[in-house]
């Protein structure tokens, strides 16, 4: 659910995770020629958000707070285009949930 949303709404610019084999090979062997990362990857985002809020022993609170930050950023970004109207708060919560656990997923 969150994964599909992420691919649809954010995937044009954000890769899910740098640990995907193909982009890593490209990055390391071909000097990022084909890929040219446009934007931070999904797992980079969430790692950053997790550092800002809560603590990892209280996952429920941390999950809620990272969702709030992600919503806030998506509708008030500095460089990235504002996605207001193209994605809803609930969809961002689903995306956050997916990204939150992505490190285990890969
Ligand atoms: C049209 C391209 C584009 C789309 C679509 C897009 N982003 Fe971004 N996003 C960017 C760029 C470029 C940056 C880097 C901006 C910067 O350097 O400050 C960014 C940065 C971010 C950051 C900050 C990451 C960090 O580590 O500082 C977050 C969070 C983020 N995007 C979330 C999202 C979410 C969630 C979606 C989907 C709902 C999304 N973005 C869709 C281009 C996009």
φ, ψ for residue 39 (rounded to 5)? -150, 160
Please tell me if the CB atom of residue 18 comes closer than 6 angstroms to any atom of ligand 1: no
Q: What is the pLDDT of residue 17?
A: 63
Given this model, what pLDDT does residue 106 score? 46
> Residue 37: CB within 6 Å of ligand 1?
no
- Residue 56 token pair: 């990892």
Q: Is the CB of 52 under 6 A from ligand 1?
A: no
* 45 within ligand 1 shell (Cβ under 6 A): yes
Contact (Cβ atoms closer than 8 angstroms) between residue 50 and residue 99: no
Q: What tokens does 35 get? A: 């890929």
- What are 84's strand-pairing partners? 87
Domains of the chain: which residue ranges?
Answer: 2-105
Looking at the DSSP bridge assignments, the partners of residue 87 are 84
Whole-model pTM over 0.85: no
Span 54-78, pLDDT tens digits: 777 788 888 888 888 899 989 998 8
């Amino acid at each position: 659910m969150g994964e599909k949303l992420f691919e649809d709404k954010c995937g044009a610019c954000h890769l899910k995770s740098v640990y995907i084999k193909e982009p890593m090979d490209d990055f390391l062997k071909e000097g990022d020629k084909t890929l040219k990362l446009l934007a931070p990857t999904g797992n980079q985002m969430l790692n950053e958000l997790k550092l800002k809020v809560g603590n990892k022993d209280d996952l429920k609170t941390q999950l809620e707070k990272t969702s709030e930050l992600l919503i806030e950023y998506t509708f008030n970004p500095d460089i990235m285009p504002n996605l207001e109207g193209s994605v809803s708060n609930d969809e961002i919560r689903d995306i956050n949930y997916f990204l939150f656990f992505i490190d285990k997923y890969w």
